[in-house]
Amino acid sequence: MNLLFTATTPADLAKVTWLIHDCFFDLDAARHAEGEGTFEIAFGRGKERVGWFGWTSTTKPARYDCVLSVSRVRAVKIEDEARIGIYDLNSVSFVSDDSAVVIEANIPLTITLAVEDIHVRVFTQNAPHTNEGGLSWYTEDQELREALEAWTT
Tell me the pLDDT tens digit for each residue of 126-141. Answer: 655 444 334 444 455 5
How many percent of the chain have pLDDT more than 90? 50
Asked if residue 92 belongs to a domain, the reply is no
What is the pLDDT at residue 146? 66
What is the pLDDT at residue 31? 95
Please say whether the beta carbons of 135 and 129 come within 8 A: yes
Residue 62's pLDDT band, with cuts at 50, 70 and 90, is low
pLDDT higher than 50, residue 52:
yes
Asked if residue 94 belongs to a domain, the reply is no
Please tell me the pTM assigned to this model: 0.78
Mean pLDDT of 23-51: 85
Residue 143's pLDDT band, with cuts at 50, 70 and 90, is low
Asked if residue 78 belongs to a domain, the reply is no
- Enclosing domain of residue 131: 2-72+117-152
Mean pLDDT of 13-38: 91
Query: Considering its fold, how many domains does the chain have in total?
Result: 1
Please say whether the beta carbons of 148 and 128 come within 8 A: yes
Asked if residue 146 belongs to a domain, the reply is yes
Asked if residue 21 belongs to a domain, the reply is yes
- Identify the weakest region by mean pLDDT among 42-56, 59-73, 92-106, 136-150: 136-150
Asked if residue 22 belongs to a domain, the reply is yes
Asked if residue 12 belongs to a domain, the reply is yes
DSSP letters of the chain?
-EEEEEE-SHHHHHHHHHHHTT-EEEGGG-EEETTTTEEEEEEEPPPEEE-GGG-EEEPPPS---EEEEE-SEEEEEEEESS--SEEEEEEEEEETTTTEEEEEESSSEEEEEEESS--EEEEESS---SSSSS-------HHHHHHHHGGG-
What is the pLDDT at residue 58? 57
